[in-house]
Chain A
């Protein structure tokens, strides 16, 4: 059995607001093994993004334990253990594509920057766009640049927060396919936040179903689908069975009620 990359035990996270406390995460228990592709799925307000941000040390947990690579999230962040892909590409508009991808390399003062930039642009099929500025690219291409940027310093862990949420379904399908190929080739551990059931089932080796008020985990599904998949797999009965279980989990968490 592979080593645990992420371990959460009885994790609580409460935001203090003017309207009183908001229980964003409650009693979260989670294990993510090395090389897994884990999706957090749930409606808005279920804490899936908060959980990802807690793993990234962008939010602090209130109680319980959370370890990333056996360290606290802060130590992991200081050790630059993960690459993070945001909801929006968050590219720096004054930097060309290659300089955006090179940004973490500059900050970490790593060697072979040109080689790394080339390799990662190649990985997201953007060779030839090095000198373009972000506004010259489509939304899908911009998000691929941000993925190349997250991978540029070769972190073992990739955290993705609804990276394709703003894209249309056709582009999204294509990027999902490419992301799976990338995962297969690089063997990275991926934690992926989404609110699309087909996306979660198609991509993941493990699906974490969450529900709001308080944000908690309803179900954890280990996928029986093979590691290598094509979009056609979405027509198979195994796929539909898993999607059904996700939907049942969401229903049990009152996600479909007002």
Chain B
């Protein structure tokens, strides 16, 4: 008898999670040895003492999964969300600048793509700059950008969001250029036979045709927008936000704090991508995509 586990996605995902957990627990033993070995020896050695002490150290090099889970539980659910100790508070700070940056970046990307598709010379003049902009390491340019923008008196959130915008516009611009050019020749000829204006072609043909490309780009850019927001918090020495938590964690050797912040950030990114997927499915329904 053959049981088809592969049909659902739960089983494969669970297997991968299990493998990662096992590897993680195993790795925690040698990695923490530098801080735990004296204690293990003092307790008389043995497998029991090794596991107990390796997986429950207060300031481990690599915390065990359950320690991270407990830290997340404590800082997310056991603290009021407006307190500085709450990760929800920090996540909100980072998320708000993520969303501002994401929206601005998307707008910028779409506007650039519309310009490039309609004006031939813009492609030649802008495209190299757009591509070059992404070859600069973001860690190098972020401090300068933030310092310069900080001097202009813009609200802090826009200063931080500028990094997300900088990262986000690129996949949107590239995806939308391709999407806006995706209608086939006959569909475009048809518009010409109607003597349709460029804006009518844009709104009634190019834009709807570009929707699948837009959603693919948005999913990429929302995830990097979050990364950008975290990076933006590092050079300013911000006291709140996921980036600030990571920075403080590494200053004070609080590995648990770092890992908890990482997991919450990853969870937030996954949620944002999932939300976009839900919007995408809603748009499919409205646009009559074959199920």
Contact = CB atoms under 8 A, between A and B. Distances in A.
B134 interface: no
Interface stretch (A20-28, A91-99, A225-233, A246-254): A91-99
Contacts of B194: 80, 103-104, 107-108
A200 interface: no
B189 interface: yes
A93 B288 contact: yes
B208 A92 contact: yes
B74 interface: no
A84 B290 contact: no
Interface residues of A, number: 25
A106 B187 CA distance: 16
Contacts of B287: 93-94
Contacts of B209: 94
Nearest to A87: B186
B195 A78 contact: yes
A84 B208 contact: no
B192 A58 contact: yes
A92 B187 contact: yes
Q: Which interface residue of A78, A87, A133 has the most chain B CB atoms within 10 A? A: A133
Contacts of B205: 92
Interface of A: 56-58, 77-78, 80, 82-84, 86-88, 90, 92-96, 103-104, 106-108, 133, 135
Contact of A77 (B193, B204, B208, B211): B193
B198 interface: no
23 contacts: A58-B192, A77-B192, A80-B194, A80-B195, A84-B189, A86-B190, A90-B187, A92-B187, A92-B204, A92-B205, A92-B208, A93-B287, A93-B288, A94-B209, A94-B287, A94-B289, A95-B288, A96-B288, A104-B194, A106-B204, A108-B194, A133-B290, A135-B290
Central interface residue in A82, A86, A107, by most chain B CB within 10 Å: A107
Contacts of A135: 288, 290
B93 to A, nearest CB: 39
A78 B197 CA distance: 11
